[in-house]
Amino acid sequence: MPEQQDLDALVVGAGFGGIYQLKQLLDLNLNVKLIDIAEDAGGTWHWNRYPGAMSDTESYLYRYSWDDDDLKSYPWHRTYLQGPEILEYLQHVVTRWNLRQHMQFKTELTGARWDDAVGRWTVETSTGQTFRPKYLVTALGLLSRQNLPKIPGLDTFKGELCHTARWPQDLKLEGKRVGVIGNGSTGVQLITAIAKQVKQLVCFQRTPQYSVPSGDKEIDEEYRKDLNEKYPEIWKQAKESAFAFGFEESSRPTFSVSDEERDRIFEEAWQTGGGFRFMFETFGDISTDEAANDACAEFIRRKIRETVKDPETARKLQPTDYHARRPLCDSGYYQQFNRDNVDLIDLKETPITEITPDGIKLSNGEVVELDVIAFATGFDAVDGNYTRVLIEGRDGHTLKDHWDEVGPTSYLGVSVPKFPNMFMILGPNGPFTNLPPTIETQVEFITELISIAEKGGPVRINGAVTNGHTNGSTNGHAHAESNGYTNGDTHAEGNGTNGVKPASPSLIEASSEAEEEWTDTCDKLSAGSLFRKTDSWIFGSNVPGKKPAVMFYFGGLANYRKVLGEVTEGGLKGFRQF
Ligand code: FAD
Ligand code: NA7
């Protein structure tokens, strides 16, 4: 039976972002619900259950910082977390804070429409229920919508087809001939994990990538004790750094040291492990200077040549473009190509022409016979989950139309003009970092916006405009730019006495000027980056038909936090409140 429910807030998505957002809004005593398509909480880690799934942020930083007791006591055993451990951790947080009672699973947001007359969103779902929240917080995930290439003959394959982000839990690979298409972070992890289990592994590689060892190792009690003592400074450092990966980014130019010293620094980083460390802790110009990038790239190419015994395979595995995609790390990826049961097919030399009932057909006519084809082909990243559903703001304006016109933009990665009281976690043009610290930053900012809105905006009293709440700055925030006020009367629901209407929640949305300025800032910050000259999901150039665009703020988390501080302290600079 279709039902309609009014809520203060609806949170969509039960990953790192949605879970924390739900908790924060419950702490404000709001009537909140969270929905997710999935069967349970976990987000990324619910979906990506392929063998070898692992965080490439070190364990101590791939978690929430806000629950000090839990931070210090929740067990983990290695320097990196396996996917199932992260899933367990997130579900533990949900249980620990009694959040599941506010969550509804197997429920997809299929459409959302802003209703100006009542100042609420109308959210349609796959279950037939309609929710009417005052605030809509979307935590749909930036690496969440799968990219499944449309290869001719896909439906004809007799064996098992799967995507890493929807890995079937009952799939057995032992004794099978398995093909893996894709060798990004996911493909590298999958290939490394299954090479020893399967009868034959054929890796279909379109563009080789640079990967360095992760340095994953067991931890002991001393290590954990030391971390626990240092956590306050660890989080402070992470939030005051650019990438929040737990190290200080280097500013040393690559060619400021001798060749021998450079080699020693790279070797030390190789032995320590970590993709971000290798790129950003060694030297400060690897992602911006071509020669510096090549020095780094050549070091990794040399390691590939030294590791892989067959020279032809080693040649195919060595990238020749910039080392400027999301840095990868692995637990012995290149070594797998020394196994007799592992083959590499270079798709630039022999592209896939079709999938046949028996396997994958290449341009040279060869059919590679397979029992399983695994797509490790990534995601329609960042805006993918937003544009696949109809989100309609003020004046019938849809998010898809807006982004078709100007590219996937926002103000601060959080708000879009004409979409009042809708806030995104990890929306377009948020910071490019280790994500939990950025997610926390955004959730806390959104909570602050909602708490300001709840206190009420300017309402019209007998024709005059005033703040709806008696003290607009109870928590240090100046409120309500009066120029944002256009139709406050339609939102004041009061039954006022003496002509004074009680405060009603106000509406908050980014101004178009602020969005444009932020987009311009993000554009300028990425202009000198080699990442922008390299095709990958980071600039939206991995999905056929998708227009490449700037999708991240490359100014670093520290600067981003500074900007947010200025916004809240400056009377919600860049937002309209009415
Ligand atoms: P997600 O965890 O993606 O959750 C989004 C949720 O929204 C999903 O559960 C989805 O079902 C739901 N949803 C989407 N659309 C709808 C809809 N219309 N209706 C209802 N529900 C919907 N980041 C790092 O910082 N470090 C790492 O080491 C790291 N490793 C990663 C490894 C893999 C394999 C992948 C895929 C990502 C990795 N990431 C990593 C990125 C990771 O996505 C983030 O760290 C983080 O988990 C994002 O949390 P989130 O809550 O924003 O989104
Ligand atoms: P990525 O990094 O986007 O990698 C996808 C891989 O799939 C990459 O090797 C692609 O080759 C390949 N690909 C994509 N489409 C095709 C087709 N049509 N044919 C052949 N090969 C294809 O996704 P991941 O899941 O590995 O990682 C995404 C992020 O998740 C990662 O950065 C972490 O943050 C976690 P290409 O390079 O485009 O030639």
Nearest-ligand number for the alpha carbon of 181:
2
Q: What is the pTM of this model?
A: 0.93
Ligand 2 binding residues, C-beta < 6 A = 143, 149, 181-187, 206-207, 326, 347, 376-379, 537, 542
pLDDT band for 503, please (50, 70, 90 cuts): low
Distance 377 CA to ligand 2 centre (A): 4
Mean pLDDT of 444-457: 92
Nearest-ligand number for the alpha carbon of 432:
1
Whether the predicted pLDDT of 481 surpasses 80:
no
Q: Is 57 in the pocket of ligand 1 (CB under 6 A)?
A: yes
pLDDT value, residue 484? 26
pLDDT band for 463, please (50, 70, 90 cuts): very low
Please, which residues have CB within 8 angstroms of residue 73's CB and are 6 or more apart in sequence?
none
Substitution candidate for ligand 1 out of 435, 443, 536 with most atoms within 8 A of CB: 435
pLDDT value, residue 18? 98
The overall average pLDDT reported for the chain is: 92
CB crowding 437-449: b at 16 or more within 10 Å, else e: bbbbbbbebbbbb
Nearest-ligand number for the alpha carbon of 141:
1
Please, which residues have CB within 8 angstroms of residue 440's CB and are 6 or more apart in sequence?
20, 64, 65, 66
pLDDT value, residue 505? 77
Distance 18 CA to ligand 1 centre (A): 10
Distance 548 CA to ligand 1 centre (A): 21
The two tokens of residue 436 are: 């939990």
* pLDDT: which is higher, 510 or 469: 510
pLDDT value, residue 2? 59
Q: 137 with 425: CB under 8 angstroms?
A: yes
Whether the predicted pLDDT of 445 surpasses 80:
yes
Q: Is 87 in the pocket of ligand 1 (CB under 6 A)?
A: no
Q: Is 103 in the pocket of ligand 1 (CB under 6 A)?
A: no
Whether the predicted pLDDT of 475 surpasses 50:
no
Distance 400 CA to ligand 1 centre (A): 21
Distance 16 CA to ligand 1 centre (A): 7
Substitution candidate for ligand 2 out of 16, 150, 206, 373 with most atoms within 8 A of CB: 206
pLDDT value, residue 464? 32
Ligand 1 atom closest to 107 (CA): 20
* Contacts by 283-286, CB closer than 8 A, 24 or more apart: 283/250, 283/252, 283/253, 283/254, 284/249, 284/250, 284/251, 284/252, 284/253, 285/253, 285/254, 286/254, 286/323
Distance 329 CA to ligand 1 centre (A): 19
Distance 187 CA to ligand 2 centre (A): 8
Query: For the segment 529-577, what is each residue's pLDDT rounded down to a tens digit?
Result: 999 999 999 999 999 999 999 999 999 999 999 999 999 999 999 999 9
Q: Looking at residue 455, what DSSP letter applies? A: T
The 3-state DSSP class for residue 435 equals helix
Q: Is 48 in the pocket of ligand 1 (CB under 6 A)?
A: yes
The closest of 505, 503, 514, 490 to 418, measured between CA atoms, is 514
Q: Is 15 in the pocket of ligand 1 (CB under 6 A)?
A: yes
Identity of residue 481: E
Distance 484 CA to ligand 2 centre (A): 43
User: Which residue bears the tokens 């879009």?
Assistant: 416
Q: 177 with 198: CB under 8 angstroms?
A: yes
Query: For the segment 279-303, what is each residue's pLDDT rounded down to a tens digit?
Result: 999 999 999 999 999 999 999 999 9
Q: Is 56 in the pocket of ligand 1 (CB under 6 A)?
A: yes
